[in-house]
Structures are given as structure tokens and as C-alpha cells.
Structure 1
């Protein structure tokens, strides 16, 4: 059980407010397959180890170990997903906040009001928060259009945007409209993974581990 807890800690350790773009751009199918392989591999190795050392000695301990292994395998699957969803959360929070700042820094128009509204809708997503990149400085007191312009050109490839952004309204609008569509797609994937993560790491997992622990304690 101590080993199980250590593995879960290591899997969760990488999550945080920052994001890793190589995790964000992974197709949802690859993410789920990878998490499944990690979870199943842990369950298989744990059960094999149990049968090798306890098969003929105490079947109740073996049963407890099997239940705990399945429960922990589900937790590891959920934790592997958490590594990806944490990066996606940081990505969505950062870029939606940046788009919102960009819209605020431009001359008010119907296009920019629409972009600002779309950015706010993304920020209303589950656990998404207003979190502009630190590189843009203290945006609460001072929005710096030149810093936003430089940041967009330096990081536009994270959104798969192939064109350089010119310091003019039409170029900004073209990028912002592309970015909002891209972020909405990522938000949809993020919510799917979050739902799966909560289902797998929920009550059933706790029941498996708790039942196994009780059997082990009374065996």
C-alpha cells in the first residue's frame, strides 16, 4: 500500500498551474490508451507479485491484495489523466486570459466584443481560471499592448497558428478568431477527460481499496 501511494504521488507531482504543450496537443485517444496501459500494467504486476509470494499461504490476503491492486490501478489511471488535464487547464486558463486581455487592449468594436465574450465563456469552464502569463506583467494595473503583441508571436505555434501576427487590427482579429475556435475544441476535449477522470477515480475506486484493506486487516 505504501508503494501504491508513492506511485500516485509521483504521477501527480508534475501537475500545477504551468502547462506542458506536448501533453496539451496529444489526441484524446492516445491519452486514454496511455493512461489505460499504465493502470493495467500496474494491476498485472501487482497481482503477479501477490500470487508469487502468497498463493499457498493466505488466500484472504491475496484477495485483499487483488482488490487493492484493482482500486489502485483505477487511481493510477485517473492520476495519469490528471497529469494531462492539469496541463490542459493551465493552457486554457493562460490563453483565454491572454485573448481577453488582447480584446480589452483594442479599440472597442463588434468583433472585439464577440472575442471578449468567447474568452469569458471559456474562462467559465470547469476549474478554468483567469491566469494571464507572468511575462505580461501585472495586468491588473497596466495592460501593455506591445508585450501582448510579442507574446502572441512568440507562442502562436502552441495554437497551431502558422502566420506571423502584424501589429494591426485585422491581423489581431484573424488570430483571435482562430484562437477562440481552437480553444473551444480543446475545452471540449478537456471536459471529456475530466468527466472520465472523475468517473474512474470516484466512489467505486474507494470501495475497492476500502474493502481490500478491511479484508487484509481481519485476515
Structure 2
């Protein structure tokens, strides 16, 4: 067993944000798939499941009453009203994962990232993904052919406000080349896992080294 797998390492919350179409979701899913120690945070929502969605996989689907009870119990790291529904990140499962040395990734907007950062500043790493240009962002949104033109224009309009928040993040990646941008994200994650403050096992390990007399 390696020292880093022993009890004593605290996990981290990796908060990844970007305007729609800049690559946040695809990079987040790939990073989780490539790292067994990293899991994706599953939000709770009051909206109904869509075809093919499973409770506990895409979302925890709860009633409005249950959601309100969770708010009253301070059971969310962050929550928000979005298009007449509520979405939130349950605190309990995330903190349990961090205590067990596991890492949790959040595919999240800048408002949610800000809430979590205020509540647990020492546990978060914030990464913002930028497009190389607004013209390229528009091209990507049109190319994926998922939304009507009016929806795309609304997403582009919101992108300016979202990009303006870049200075509140620890790291910023320009996604001009997807593979290079993903490699940068993976390097950031690997380096943050090695931070001394997150590895409580190091102090006794180092003391053991100092106590060894050859």
C-alpha cells in the first residue's frame, strides 16, 4: 500500500466552470473516467427526470418540500433556482468523500463555485475554461446542433457575464486545442493532490525518516 492511499490524505473539490460550449462538461467527464479516485458530484433537483435519466446517476430527484427541508437543515454546499426548478449540491456525500481521501469534481457555474468556495475555501480548486474567441464559441454551439438559434443566442449573451468572472478562479485554461487543454487540466489536478496541506500522512512519514539512524 502506498503512503498516499493510507488514511491521512484529505480529498479536494475540483470546481470547473466555463461558458456553454467551451468544453467544461466533456473535459470533466473525461477526467472522472481517467481517475478512479475522482467522482462527479451528483446534484439534487426538483425537476422531473427526463427520458433515460436515473435517480442518483444524473441527479437526485426530490420533491420541492424535501428540497426546502434540506435548505433549512443547511444540507447544501450551494443551491440555486434555475428555470422554475431548484438545483443544489448535497453537503453530506461530498464531505464524507473528502474525509475518506476521495476527490469530487463539480461541473458548475460561477455562482455555485462562489458559494462553495465561501463555505469550504481550503478544500476547493477552481478552474475556468475559456474559448479561444467568441466566434469559435459560437461555431461550437452551432456545430453541436443541440439547441435552437434563440437558445444559442441566449447562451452567447450569458457567456460575456460568465467570462467576466475568470479572475475569481485559481487556474484558467484556454481551450484552443482540446487534448492540450485536457492535459493542462489533468496536470492541475495531479499537482493539487500533492499539496502538503492535503496530505496529513506526510508529517509522521517525514518524522519516521528523521528518526531513522543508519
TM-score, normalising length: structure 1: 0.30
* Structure 1 or 2: more helix by fraction: 1
TM-score, normalising length: structure 2: 0.30
* Structure 1 or 2: more strand by fraction: 2
> Which structure has the bigger radius of gyration?
1
